[in-house]
Structure 1
Amino acid sequence: MRRKAERGRRPARSRQSADATGAEASPSQLFDVTGLGGSGDGLARPVDPSDGGDLVFIPFTAPGDRVLARRTGHDRAVAEQIIVPGSERVEPPCSLFGQCGGCALQHLSTTWTLDWKKDRLLTGLRKAGVSDIPFVRTTQTGPYTRRRAELALRRKQGTIIIGLHQRGGDPVDLTECHLLHPALTALLPPLRELLAKTALLKREGDLLINLLDSGPDLLFSSDANPGTADRSRFATFAVQHAIPRIAWRRAGTIDVPEILTQIAPTRIRFGDTDVEPPPGAFLQASRDGEIAIQAAVIEALPRIPGKKARVIELYAGCGTLTFPLAEHIRVEAFEGHAAAVRSLQQASAGKRIAVTLRDLNRQPVEARELGSALAVIIDPPHSGAGMQMTQILDGKPGVLIYVSCNPKILFRDTVSLLAKGYRLDSIALIDQFLWSAEIETVCRFSRK
């Protein structure tokens, strides 16, 4: 456990007499923090009852803290000083914590945050109607393991900022990061130098980096087109830093990315198969998190009755789960992203995999087909499965293995599944979004 913060040290925010608009600021008050809200902000009440008893959310506070804070809205406040720190408060490892928007919980021990996430999950499932909660297997990934980053780019006063947005504000230059894999962090200083010399970035853009098995894979989105000189610079940069591929597309579009330079094949391994993903492909946040999710899905498979048995996988992506599944059973994989489907098809030749390009939100796999599968595996986007979940509920497959990155949607769908006669058999919680409030789960539902 990290060294606990000294009294009165965190956060180092200055008191102000007026807000950003020039209006008179609210007076400072003492608050006691009693818990955390769903986004990781502290839940607090005024110490003095005459200040009102309504709960307010205070970022970067911990349960047990007594803080001096200033209200910024009906249910929001900003901490100015920690008067008495809570017992679980620790010294954040990163000097950018509180400015950079990448982390919300570095001031709490990782052991405590894992327990907190587990409690949130169980509380939500109980409220959804699950009366018999199975054992929850937990996995927590470590720092410096995140292999995927979506970073903001900003040209400002002749310099290049690469980082993450602070809450409701400009990006903070990522001069250090305790989440990202060191291979990605090491790229940031030379990338700043490169972008400063190019015409690719007039004012702002984005950079998505995936750390593949073949090396970093870069996708820029920017507000200006690359020129001939820019292409030459990117090619030289790729050779110097062993970057197999650099791609680009216009900011604000969903155009197929243009390859600026490619000096070697791109490759990532899922199960026993190498896949060449498209630029900007979705990956699980860390390799350890991916392995834990794959293991939980395989373990949730029902007993396979014979060679003709098959499972249906929805939102298959590039094959994160498809190829490990195919080592055990035939897989019918459905995915709506054309480039991901091409990668999946190329890598699945000769394997027990059938791949279909299909927009599942507009043209879901129908209930009759789902009901005939041994199991359905679904890994929906953050917004949920929409019409596809309706077909699942109508088809009533015997086993549904549900990979979720959004607890609210999971709880909502659990209510519907229970109403259709399903029960919750197993739960795996994978905490691969360290120091954030995000939760990844794998749940097995079954019905007679």
Structure 2
Amino acid sequence: MENAAVDPIPVVALGNDGDGLAQTTAGRVFVPGTVPGDEILLTSQTDTHGTLERVVSPGSTRVTPPCSLFGTCGGCRLQHMARPAILEWKAGRVVETLRHAGFDTVPTPVTRQVSPHGRRRVDLAFRRAGKEIVLGLHRRRGAVVDMTECTLLAPALLALLAPLRAMLHSLPAVHAGGDIQINLLDSGPDLLIAMDGTPDTNDRRILAEFSKTHGIARISLHARPPETLAQAGPVFHHFDGVRIVPPPGAFLQPAREGEEAIRNAVVAGLPRKGLKAGIIELYAGCGTLSFALATHAKVHAYEGDRAALACLKQASGGTRVLPALRDLNRQPVMANELAKSAAVVLDPPHAGAGAQMAQIITGKPRCVIYVSCNPVALQRDLTPLAQAGYRLDNLTVIDQFLWSAEVEAVCVLTLPATRPRR
């Protein structure tokens, strides 16, 4: 319904998705593009959402967005808010999540925030628009917005977008459009492309020339399994000095600074004694944490993705990493094995650890280090640990998804020793 409010409406908080929470006479509504402290007017309002007309009086944390595409491009939600305030909000959200999980004492979090222009992984869509290719992100529930600038992307990736548009336009296999994932590896950009046509010899020639000209390590077709369409040289990346060969579309933390902050927090959380019993690492991926952990103890690294595990196996020779294939939701590592470890380290997917948590609770390992990218899953997975008597010793909150509502957290939990009865 139309809202003809004359008096400005105060924005009192941020919702979990980063939209401002405004206090209207009819109740609270979510208003994108606002920050706490704003006094605003709305053009329209439903039961739960409002549309911003203008800001009458700005809140103290409101800033000018650094990117002219903000509000159109779907990549950022909070560029109108000062970065220190965003980090403070994210840290507060994680602390509140852990309190809801049942931890009476939540330590003051160590906080880290990555720098702009540091993102090395991006998923983009591309569409034919007349004689041009539009390449970028979808606006909220809308069309693709051409990414002509970006305050997130690493300069090497941003510089690649213009020649990439020209190359995609020349591909016969691109009819209406497709999607492309780019990882910036140590060997250079690694591309995984999905197209709405089937690439032929001419497409492969164009891709090979593009790969050679622009130093693209590899271009692969999104298929099962992925097919290499062009490769200009060896494909490689390093985790803690160990050289790996990532599969196409491999998972990387979005920023190198964020990866380092996570790794440092995990390693710092390891127990100082008893590491001879070894570490169990769940959801090991290609070894983001594995090789750092292996400098302290033997690591039993479990991963369910075959391509990631093959990468980890190939790189683990001569290290103390022992990789194993395991679908941890269908076949979790059992409680008796977990109980014998010095520490259990897990970095589960966005949905959380699922069935694996029941075995951790039953096994009661002395130390659990949980890396989370989703506060909802974090609360669900850690609630039974709080109920089982685990103590939250250390908390690190990392903002590596700049200007978004996403947040990373590293929680170090220990189970206090019980005195034996006489």
Partner in structure 2 of residue 179 of structure 1:
152
Partner in structure 2 of residue 11 of structure 1:
none
Counterpart of 2:2 in structure 1: which amino acid? Answer: S
Distance in 1, matches of 2:293 and 2:12, equals: 44
Cα displacement (A) at 1:157? 2.1
Cα displacement (A) at 1:171? 1.4
Partner in structure 2 of residue 310 of structure 1:
278
Distance in 2, matches of 1:304 and 1:166, equals: 51
Cα displacement (A) at 1:269? 0.9
TM-score (norm. length: structure 1): 0.90
Cα displacement (A) at 1:275? 0.8
1:26 matches 2:2: yes
More off after superposition, 80-89 vs 138-147: 80-89
1:44 matches 2:48: no
Runs of 4 or more above 6 Å deviation: none
**CA deviation vs aligned residue, 1:115-149 (integer Å, no higher than 9, x gap):** 11111111222222211121311111010000000
**CA deviation vs aligned residue, 1:37-90 (integer Å, no higher than 9, x gap):** 0010000022xx3xx2x1110001111112221335321111121121111110
Counterpart of 1:342 in structure 2: which amino acid? Answer: A
Distance in 1, matches of 2:105 and 2:353, equals: 25
Cα displacement (A) at 1:362? 1.2
1:290 matches 2:268: no
Query: Which of 231, 256, 266 pairs up with 2:225?
Result: 256
1:336 matches 2:304: yes
Contact kept in structure 1, 2:15 and 2:21, CA below 8 Å: yes
Cα displacement (A) at 1:284? 0.4
Contact kept in structure 1, 2:3 and 2:45, CA below 8 Å: no
Distance in 2, matches of 1:177 and 1:362, equals: 40
Partner in structure 1 of residue 380 of structure 2:
412
Counterpart of 1:283 in structure 2: which amino acid? Answer: L
Partner in structure 2 of residue 124 of structure 1:
97
Distance in 2, matches of 1:385 and 1:183, equals: 35
Distance in 1, matches of 2:116 and 2:386, equals: 37
Distance in 1, matches of 2:144 and 2:287, equals: 33
Partner in structure 1 of residue 243 of structure 2:
274
Is there any run of 5+ residues in structure 2 with no aligned partner, and where? 418-422
Report SS of the residue matched to 1:418. helix
Report SS of the residue matched to 1:230. helix
Partner in structure 1 of residue 420 of structure 2:
none
Counterpart of 1:26 in structure 2: which amino acid? Answer: E
Cα displacement (A) at 1:367? 1.1
Q: What is the CA RMSD across the aligned residues, in angstroms?
A: 1.3
Cα displacement (A) at 1:227? 1.4
Partner in structure 2 of residue 368 of structure 1:
336
Partner in structure 2 of residue 9 of structure 1:
none
Partner in structure 1 of residue 179 of structure 2:
206
More off after superposition, 57-66 vs 123-132: 123-132
Partner in structure 2 of residue 22 of structure 1:
none
More off after superposition, 25-34 vs 77-86: 25-34
Partner in structure 2 of residue 67 of structure 1:
40
Contact kept in structure 1, 2:353 and 2:381, CA below 8 Å: no
Counterpart of 1:442 in structure 2: which amino acid? Answer: V
Contact kept in structure 2, 1:370 and 1:397, CA below 8 Å: yes
1:137 matches 2:115: no
Counterpart of 2:410 in structure 1: which amino acid? Answer: V
Distance in 1, matches of 2:90 and 2:58, equals: 21
TM-score (norm. length: structure 2): 0.96
Report SS of the residue matched to 1:410. helix
How many equivalent residue pairs?
A: 414
Query: Which of 289, 294, 297 pairs up with 1:326?
Result: 294
**CA deviation vs aligned residue, 1:96-120 (integer Å, no higher than 9, x gap):** 0001111111001101111111111
Query: Which of 198, 219, 222 pairs up with 2:192?
Result: 219
Contact kept in structure 1, 2:277 and 2:340, CA below 8 Å: no
Query: Which of 341, 349, 359 pairs up with 1:381?
Result: 349
Cα displacement (A) at 1:28? 4.5
Q: Percent identity at matched positions?
A: 51
Is there any run of 5+ residues in structure 1 with no aligned partner, and where? 1-24
Query: Which of 411, 414, 419 pairs up with 1:446?
Result: 414
Contact kept in structure 2, 1:272 and 1:324, CA below 8 Å: no
Partner in structure 2 of residue 354 of structure 1:
322
Distance in 1, matches of 2:90 and 2:78, equals: 12
1:99 matches 2:72: yes
Cα displacement (A) at 1:265? 1.1
Cα displacement (A) at 1:305? 2.9
Distance in 1, matches of 2:269 and 2:60, equals: 38
- Closer, same or farther: CA 28–259 of 1 in aligned 2, 3 Å: farther
Alignment of 1:236-251 (within 5 A): 236-250=209-223
**CA deviation vs aligned residue, 1:233-259 (integer Å, no higher than 9, x gap):** 010001110111010125xxxx11100
Counterpart of 1:295 in structure 2: which amino acid? Answer: N
Contact kept in structure 2, 1:304 and 1:329, CA below 8 Å: no
